[in-house]
Amino acid sequence: MSSTKKVAVIVGSLRAESKTRALAKAIIAEAPAGLEFEFAEIGDLALYNEDLETDTPPAPWTRFRNQIGDVDAVLFVTPEYNRSVPAALKNAIDVGSRPYGKAVFSGKPAAVVTASPGGVGGFGANHHLRQSLVFLDMPVLQQPEAYIGGLWEMFDDEGNVKSEGTRKFLGSIATAFAALIAKNA
């Protein structure tokens, strides 16, 4: 049996040139061996509505639920919108949390990385997201905390993280997350 662990990466920004998505890629680049990452896309998930929770729910809901159900862990990388979680990300959490009793997130280790062009690093979004993950019974990486400021200055023209210190910090997040995943395997 392979010891490789599959990690779904959910990015809270939908825009094509998202700096947060670039940050997610930078974390992946610094991750230790033994983790396999795949992006779980959330932009096409219909707004959660219990009326759609039939025997044939929207196909993107089913795709998303199957994908999350199939991984060992989930890495959330998100900007902050109005001091909270972007609606698209909250919607994805709601979609994955239902039908009742069948939440695909349940028990899967998670890590939360928030980012902002400002200095506060998405602290509000980070902890609002953690509140939902408690309810979903996901063991969440506690340290290092990841409130990444200066998002718009972080990358060079090729999309590489300019600061070696930042690269090392991103690597330390991925390494600690790998340990949490192994502990919960």
Candidates 117, 159, 163, 179: give the one binding ligand FNR (CB under 6 A).
117
Alpha helix positions (H), the chain:
19-29, 59-70, 87-96, 123-135, 164-183
* Cβ 178 to ligand FNR shortest distance, Å: 24
Residues 6+ apart with CB under 8 A from 106: 136, 137, 138
| Sole window of 15-23, 29-37, 58-66, 100-108 interacting with ligand FNR (rule: CB under 6 A) | 15-23
CA distances to 44, 59, 115, 125, 183 from 142, rounded to whole Å, are 30, 34, 16, 15, 14
* Cβ 144 to ligand FNR shortest distance, Å: 19
Judged on CB neighbours under 10 Å (0-12, 13-18, 19+), 182 is: middle
Distance CA 39, CA 11 (A): 8
Candidates 15, 102, 162, 168: give the one binding ligand FNR (CB under 6 A).
15
| Sole window of 13-21, 26-34, 105-113, 165-173 interacting with ligand FNR (rule: CB under 6 A) | 13-21
18 binds ligand FNR (CB under 6 A): yes
Q: Residues 118-157 vs ligand FNR: string with x where CB under 6 A?
A: x-x-x----------------------------x------
114 binds ligand FNR (CB under 6 A): no
